[in-house]
Amino acid sequence: MPDFLHKAADAFLHPGGWYLFVRVVTAGYAVSAIGRLIPVRRKQIAGYRRKPGRTAALTACGLAIACAIATWTYVMPRPSFPETLHSAASTQRTSSPGLGVFEPNEWETWKPVEGFASAVGRNPGIVLLYSGWPEPWQAKFAAMAYAHGAEPFVQIEPVGVTLRSIIAGHSDAYLRSYAASVRGYGHPVILSFGAEMNGSWYSWGSGHTRPTVFVAAWRHVVRVFRKAGARNVKWLWTVNSTNATAAPLKRWWPGNSYVNIVGIDGYYYRRADTFKSVFGTTITEIRGFTRTPILISETATGPVAGPSKIANLFAGVRHHHLLGLVWFDQAQHHGIFHQDWRLEDSPAALAAFRKAAGVRRERIMRR
């Protein structure tokens, strides 16, 4: 089935809920409007005879097309990300990993995400947004994401505020209003708070804040949201990929009841980097204290590592039955840690990505 048909079916049938109904009705009106605009031969003339079986044939054709679309959409497994989030690792083996993306300026316009989607030939099921403190919920961004069948993934960064003041409840008004907006949005949302706390580069991270304080702040934030009735939030606890010599991650762990997904941020900076060297240790360590599903919540392979690493990245995600990966699609030009991660800037990387991210149809069919 051509990709555009898949996309069209997705556009209608993926968003779900009541808006799906509105879209189907609107499409019905549009199709009948086109039908009425197409000129046809006058049939109200003496001697006109309907060709026998023609109506039946047309009806049969219509039904067959509807059945084909329904089969394609519902019966054949689709690699859309939110589905893989809901069902655990069972489908991971055969379907392609979930795909997410971060694009600069995506809260203003969906164009960059659309550009990424058409470049890689797949609609991202997750779109990542960074939110400072105390920035409000980006309703437009969320609506755009929903309209395109993607789940908003917001990294809330407690900049300019201490975790202790959050624990003390000084930010509760902000958190409650944010939670109310998220609740009002009404569709699944991934929220993360204080990402990469195991690194030393943020005020809420290692060396600036004690792990017990971080854990208390995390639990406080989650509690405020739950109390506000924002049940549509999946809490993603984000660590930076680590190595064996670093302090244990478990110290920062808020507990299974406070986390729905574990996120790992990690990049292929150098030629020698592999999935094992970037994520291997971290995954092993996390699996030591939780079975919570893991998402590569921020990743990219830079020009230095080369496009050949993309296949390795996807292979690693599949091998470890991870939920998927979120590509950090931004061009940075500031040393080894801030390379040009943008896929669209490298035809070779793009080709490798398309190949690696592709759905393995033949394996699904065999199942």
Partner 1 sequence: MPRIVTDPEPSARAQHMALQALIALGTPLVDEPASGPPPAARAAACTVTVFIPAHNEAASIGATLLSLREQTHLPSHVVVVCDNCTDDTAAIAVRHGVTVFTTVGNTERKAGALNQALRHFLPTLDGNDLVLLMDADSQLSADWIASAMRALQSDRKLGGVCGTYLGAKEKGILRQLQRNEFVRASRLVPRRASLWVLSGTGTMFRARVLREIGRERGSALPGTRGEFYHSQSITEDYEITLAAKSLGWKCIAPPGCTASTEIMPTWRALYRQRLRWQTGTLTALRGYGMTRITWTNWARQIFFYLRYFAQVACWVVIGGSLVRHPSLFMPSWVVVMLAVIYAERVITVRKAGLKGMLLAMLLFPEWAYGMFDGLYLMRALFSEITGKDVSWGHLGSTDA
Task: Return residues touching partner 1 (CB under 8 A).
Answer: 11, 18-19, 21-23, 25-30, 33-34, 36-37, 40, 42-48, 50, 110, 139-140, 143-144, 147-148, 181, 184-186
Do 164 and 194 contact (CB within 8 A), yes or no? no
The one-letter amino acid code at 141 reads: F
Between 18 and 335, CB nearer to partner 1: 18
Q: Which two tokens stand for residue 18?
A: 């009541």
Between 22 and 351, CB nearer to partner 1: 22
Do 318 and 97 contact (CB within 8 A), yes or no? yes
Between 59 and 212, CB nearer to partner 1: 59
| Angle (deg, nearest 10), helices 17-37 and 3-13 | 120
Minimum distance from CB of 25 to partner 1 (Å)? 5
C-alpha to C-alpha distance for 174 and 181, rounded to whole angstroms? 11
Between 20 and 247, CB nearer to partner 1: 20
Q: What angle do CA 154, 342, 192 make, to 5 degrees?
A: 15
**Alpha-carbon dihedral sign for residues 105, 326, 341, 356:** negative
Minimum distance from CB of 350 to partner 1 (Å)? 23
**Alpha-carbon dihedral sign for residues 109, 114, 119, 120:** positive
Minimum distance from CB of 152 to partner 1 (Å)? 12
Minimum distance from CB of 43 to partner 1 (Å)? 4
Closest CA to 153 of 111, 193, 205, 208: 193
Do 304 and 339 contact (CB within 8 A), yes or no? yes
Q: Which of helix, strand or coil describes residue 141?
A: helix
Minimum distance from CB of 145 to partner 1 (Å)? 10
Q: Which two tokens stand for residue 80?
A: 């859309």
Between 37 and 75, CB nearer to partner 1: 37
Minimum distance from CB of 193 to partner 1 (Å)? 22
Between 185 and 253, CB nearer to partner 1: 185
Between 148 and 342, CB nearer to partner 1: 148
Q: Which of helix, strand or coil describes residue 249?
A: helix
**Secondary structure letter of residue 355 according to DSSP:** H
Between 62 and 347, CB nearer to partner 1: 62
b/e per residue 95-120 (b: at least 16 CB within 10 A): bbbbbbbbbeebbeebebbeebbebb
Minimum distance from CB of 121 to partner 1 (Å)? 18
Minimum distance from CB of 84 to partner 1 (Å)? 23
